[in-house]
Structure 1
Amino acid sequence: MQPLMTKNFITLLFYFVFCLFTLSVTCRDSDLETDCTNRWIHIRRLPPQFNLDLLSNCSEYPLFDDFCPYLANHGLGKKTHNKSHSWYRTDPFMLELIFHRRMLEYPCLTSDPSLANAIYVPYYGGLDSLRFLYGPEVNSSYQHGLDLYEYLVHGDLPDVWSRHYGHDHFMVMARPAWDFSQPLNSDPLYFGTSFLELPEFYNVTALTLEGRAYPWQEQAIPYPTSFHPPNLAFFESWVNRVRRSRRTALMLFAGGGGISANPNVRRSIRLECDNVTSLSANGTGYDKLCDFVDCSNGVCQHDPIRFMKPMLQASFCLQPPGDTPTRRSTFDGILAGCIPVFFEDLSAKKQYGWHLPEEKYEEFSVFISKEDVVFKGLSIVDVLTSIPRSQVRRMREKVLEMMPRVMYIKHGSSLGLRTKKDAFDIAVECTLERIKSRLQEIAAQ
């Protein structure tokens, strides 16, 4: 393994350690300004093997990726360019670092776990899973999480766990829940670990990038995008740019896949997009009916410049499922004011109920059944052009309203920006409500 302990990396480690040792000071300062009734959170101190040490292995999994470049700025990644204040090359799998860093600024932290309404476990479960998914321990993936459980139950402060046996604990696992759902008795070659199948963790709330259709422990929260404004001025400047942007394309698909001969919605989208490029857009109010950004082989993942400008110029962004139902592109599109078009409910409606309330989907998105597109030949262009322009404008305004709810603002951001609840704020608030409700149910039994 190449030496990784550069000056910047050492600075990152020391900053995390410094923050962990100053939590009580942060809490005392914040208590003067915030009503923390029923909002107290204790951050469980873990040995570094469960978080910081995992960062030093960032280049050990060549089948996955060298994720060392994405550790910068506490998981936000490097800036897209030197003068950028809000845009970063963010990898969504770094959500565990991003969330941990923001938790250190949470205004209602307590060093006394007995006073806490919830216990945050700063475990980098997605990063720890790499040794089971791509490393030498791939054949023992059923053991993922057992060492953490042993520490929580028998390590320092075992009473923290035994008080509610994990019902008041929560953690972030920056992968789809399916990656942690391998049956305990399955063939070890099956992709994934068994963390969420372990009875030991049935009571813990896991915040994941995507939940299963039958959620038990997990709750999906938004994928991190590349937009992390540091203050209200930069956020409002972006909103104004989005609102003023001229939408020259009816619809956009930014993604890969769809090249196989087998019927699937991505193939249907690409075929329709190819066909309509030769058709006149006269009378529609657009210069073109479909735009396509080829993001095959992950070329767009860390380069928002490739897709954000086309999203700013499109009225509708198509969000078909891929290997799994959800896409980071859903949240990129919302930040661009591009109205999302979903093809199955598991892509968002049945996932992100905390951040995108289910009852409001018709106000800011369009639903087209993938079966109708693939097997009945329904034209996506026909559906979208039939929507009155006045309704399109109302939908876009709703998308702009949703924008703060799906972004993760930069750590250390100004107080003005923090008046807007972002994805982190909503995740913490709803986790506290979930834990409160669960504990009340247990007490009533």
Structure 2
Amino acid sequence: MYGKAAICLTFVILFLVSCSIYIGTVDLRSYFFPLLQSPPVLRSLCATGRPLRVYMYDLPRKFHVGMLDRRSSEEAAPVTMENLPPWPSSSGIKRQHSVEYWLMASLLYDGQDEDEREAVRVSDPEKADAFFVPFFSSLSFNTHGHNMTDPETEIDRQLQVELLEFLQQSKDYQRSGGRDHVIPMTHPNAFRFLREQLNASILIVVDFGRYPKTMSSLRKDVVAPYVHVVDSFTDDDPLDPYESRATLLFFRGNTVRKDEGKIRVKLAKILAGSDDVHYEKSVATPKNIKMSTEGMRSSKFCLHPAGDTPSSCRLFDAIVSHCVPVIVSDKIELPYEDEIDYTEFSIFFSMKEALEPGYLVNHLRQFPKSRWVQMWKLLKNISRHYEFQYPPKKEDAVNMLWRQIKHKLPGVQLAVHRSRRLKVPDWWRRKR
């Protein structure tokens, strides 16, 4: 009798657990996945299997590399691995919004084994998992006028109009409603005139600070890191890394920002007078970028308050400088967060905590040296995931982003399949 009762009870428990897993209330990965982590920060769900097959549209040069060199002719040969112009070394702060360039370059490059790549270009759209739209929307904003009254802004608007018309006439775009199309928009003002008309696509953004809640979300979009503008710290190997960095907390940048970025002015007053804190108002010039490079490399912690949007290039400058980021934000989105746990190498403060006099600095002064050294070592290990380079390398920023796109595709396919339920097939119309 007791045996039958035990069997029945076991069956009921298994049935309830199965139902919970099916509807998503129980996630067994949270119990078993820690056993599979190697290294501890990187947790890839789609790192194995064949590369993502990507079809890249062949757009006129004015939509992409033509903006790098306005003297180039639209009749020039198609962009290839051999004739791809390098990203200009004199671009300065524009480099931080160049994700679009590096993604395009990675698809042009064919000199790497497929098992080391997350995405490969295919020439047949029927064989593609995703479609890449090589429009440099961020560079277009930076190149064709920064405000609505600038006459050159009309060029940016016209490019957006032409691109939208091109996509709407594409059978591949029509088939999915654009859902399987990948479009970079990393500048907060990129594609600002017609952005909402491309909302169905997978957008590559740096955060959602300029996007309405009804438009973009982590469900379909990919958060990219800014491309760092300081030089990477490649020979960071002192005997005592903690003591070799004399400054406790470092910040150098513009203190006049919008929205949450207004906290920068308040922090300047709160942190003033601390001998071990360097908080300086600055603008991005080649000389100042070099000084920021030196300052981050000689500091234990680097402050990352919100800018005009929750994220900024400063966070990724800190990572490649192996300076432990101190993130002050209530709603920041971070790249690769389904694979990387930022709490393992960063410290987070709410806006309220950061504005409490003495709270932030006292916490950092009491931070255990051993724990800081662990974070420093981890920064050295994961900084490769924030490197944009050509040719691309395994596990660099470009490959990480393609893998993030791969993560979104099951949900994209689900949305495409559901949308087709409502469409009446042509043969049914003819039959009626």
TM-score (norm 1): 0.67
Deviation at 1:98, TM superposition (A): 2.9
Q: Does 1:46 align with 2:31?
A: no
Q: Does 1:367 align with 2:348?
A: yes
Show the counterpart of 2:285.
Answer: 299
Instruction: Work out which of the residue numbers 127, 148, 160 in structure 1 matches 2:172.
Output: 160
Provide the rounded CA distance (Å) in 1 between the counterparts of 2:180 and 2:224: 18
Show the counterpart of 2:130.
Answer: 118
Instruction: Work out which of the residue numbers 200, 203, 216 in structure 2 matches 1:206.
Output: 203
- The amino acid that maps onto 1:384 is L
- The amino acid that maps onto 1:396 is W
1:253-332 paired onto structure 2 within 5 Å: 253-257=251-255, 264-277=262-275, 289-295=276-282, 297-299=283-285, 304-332=289-317
| 421-430 vs 395-404, greater mean Cα deviation | 395-404
Counterpart contact for 1:293–1:307, Cα < 8 Å: no
Deviation at 1:238, TM superposition (A): 3.4
Show the counterpart of 2:182.
Answer: 170
Counterpart contact for 1:258–1:270, Cα < 8 Å: no
- Helix, strand or coil for the counterpart of 1:91? helix
Provide the rounded CA distance (Å) in 1 between the counterparts of 2:403 and 2:98: 21
Structural RMSD (CA): 3.6
- The amino acid that maps onto 1:411 is Y
Provide the rounded CA distance (Å) in 1 between the counterparts of 2:322 and 2:268: 22
Deviation at 1:253, TM superposition (A): 1.1
1:38-77 paired onto structure 2 within 5 Å: 39-57=52-70, 74-75=86-87, 77=89
Instruction: Work out which of the residue numbers 94, 100, 103 in structure 1 matches 2:98.
Output: 94
Q: Percent identity?
A: 19
Provide the rounded CA distance (Å) in 2 between the counterparts of 1:392 and 1:35: 33
Show the counterpart of 1:281.
Answer: none
- Which has the larger Rg? 2
Counterpart contact for 1:75–1:90, Cα < 8 Å: no
- The amino acid that maps onto 2:138 is G
Show the counterpart of 1:84.
Answer: none
Distance change in 2, residues 1:434/1:249 (3 Å):
same
Deviation at 1:378, TM superposition (A): 4.3
Distance change in 2, residues 1:242/1:259 (3 Å):
farther
- Helix, strand or coil for the counterpart of 2:187? strand
| 117-126 vs 303-312, greater mean Cα deviation | 303-312
Instruction: Work out which of the residue numbers 309, 318, 323 in structure 2 matches 1:333.
Output: 318
Distance change in 2, residues 1:367/1:36 (3 Å):
closer
Q: Does 1:411 align with 2:424?
A: no
- Structure 1, unpaired ranges of 5+: 1-33, 59-71, 80-87, 182-192, 230-234, 278-288
Counterpart contact for 1:253–1:317, Cα < 8 Å: yes
Counterpart contact for 2:293–2:321, Cα < 8 Å: yes
Provide the rounded CA distance (Å) in 2 between the counterparts of 1:258 and 1:50: 32
Show the counterpart of 1:18.
Answer: none
Deviation at 1:173, TM superposition (A): 2.3
Which protein, 1 or 2, shows the higher relative CO under an 8 Å CA cutoff with sep ≥ 6?
2
Counterpart contact for 1:76–1:90, Cα < 8 Å: no
Counterpart contact for 2:270–2:358, Cα < 8 Å: no
- Which digits, 9 at most, give the CA deviation of each residue in 1:292-318, with x for residues without a partner? 3442x3236x75421112111111101
- Helix, strand or coil for the counterpart of 2:205? strand
Provide the rounded CA distance (Å) in 2 between the counterparts of 1:263 and 1:271: 14
Distance change in 2, residues 1:131/1:308 (3 Å):
closer
- The amino acid that maps onto 2:50 is T
Provide the rounded CA distance (Å) in 1 between the counterparts of 2:312 and 2:253: 10
Distance change in 2, residues 1:115/1:395 (3 Å):
same
Counterpart contact for 2:303–2:326, Cα < 8 Å: yes
Counterpart contact for 1:42–1:116, Cα < 8 Å: yes
- The amino acid that maps onto 1:211 is F
Deviation at 1:437, TM superposition (A): 2.6
Instruction: Work out which of the residue numbers 436, 440, 444 in structure 1 matches 2:410.
Output: 436
Distance change in 2, residues 1:91/1:259 (3 Å):
closer
Q: Does 1:148 align with 2:153?
A: no
Distance change in 2, residues 1:92/1:171 (3 Å):
same
Q: Does 1:249 align with 2:258?
A: no
Provide the rounded CA distance (Å) in 2 between the counterparts of 1:308 and 1:357: 29
- The amino acid that maps onto 1:412 is P
Provide the rounded CA distance (Å) in 2 between the counterparts of 1:333 and 1:242: 21
Show the counterpart of 2:334.
Answer: 351
TM-score (norm 2): 0.69
Provide the rounded CA distance (Å) in 1 between the counterparts of 2:146 and 2:130: 30
Distance change in 2, residues 1:437/1:337 (3 Å):
same
- Structure 2, unpaired ranges of 5+: 1-46, 72-83, 115-119, 422-432
